[in-house]
Amino acid sequence: GGEELPYDVADSEGRNAMERRTIDFTQTLSLVGRVLARHRKIIEETTKGEDAPIEPPLRILSHKEVVQKLWTNAYPNPSLYNSLIRSLINCGTPPSEVEFIKSTANSFPTLNDADLNDPVKAANARHEVKIALMAVRNNLLKLQKNCVAECAFNRDRHVAAADLLLLYAHTDNFVVSRGYSSFESSPTVVYARELGGRVPRSKLKEANERGEG
């Protein structure tokens, strides 16, 4: 592993990265919104007719869907947890360590039996999944601490997996994109302030001369 960062430095870098990605995400959705608004008639003709509302480009997953995607789904679309177990096996993790991680699931038996069609029970299961993912993360870190020099590769993989589990466990909203019939859009205006970094004045001047600014 590399040099350890102080918590305040790591926290600051993480927040800056999150803010940049949030801005990029917002700007992308703004551009998508402009395209959808400009071509409303085409979209109406290829969806459900003129009287049907145009759905937003993203849909927030329900509690049921989140529980399935993070914990309960099996093959051929395995959940995050089942994908982790398969990855541990495929990368040559000792069977005893795999069983140690799998034993975590035994502490949450109700997750696989919960009636996810019941909104209240699905919400409770969603909260329990967060706790379960953090428990799996803690056990991965325990394995990482016990790794010797010969298994440094697995040690780094455990740390990376633990970081991802932390991210998923503390994500409040999961979204999926809605399907749209493809069509060719007219040119979309992009403003210099939307590009994030500095834009050379020479480039802005050239764009203005071409009538694009």
Res 1 pLDDT > 50:
no
The whole-number pLDDT of residue 152 equals: 58
Omega of the bond prior to 109 within 30 degrees of 0, cis? no
The whole-number pLDDT of residue 86 equals: 92
CA-to-CA dists, residue 65 to 61, 142, 151, 206, angstroms: 6, 30, 36, 49
> What is the chain's mean pLDDT, rounded?
81
Q: Alpha helices of 61-185 — where are they, by DSSP H?
A: 63-67, 80-90, 95-105, 110-113, 119-146, 152-169
Res 166 pLDDT > 80:
yes
User: What's the pLDDT tens digit per position in 124-136?
Assistant: 999 999 999 999 9
Q: What is the mean pLDDT of residues 24-53?
A: 71
Q: What is the mean pLDDT of residues 83-101?
A: 88
Q: What is the mean pLDDT of residues 25-42?
A: 77
* 183 or 110: which leads in pLDDT: 110
Residue 207: CB atoms within 10 Å: 14
CA-to-CA dists, residue 37 to 112, 178, 182, angstroms: 43, 16, 15
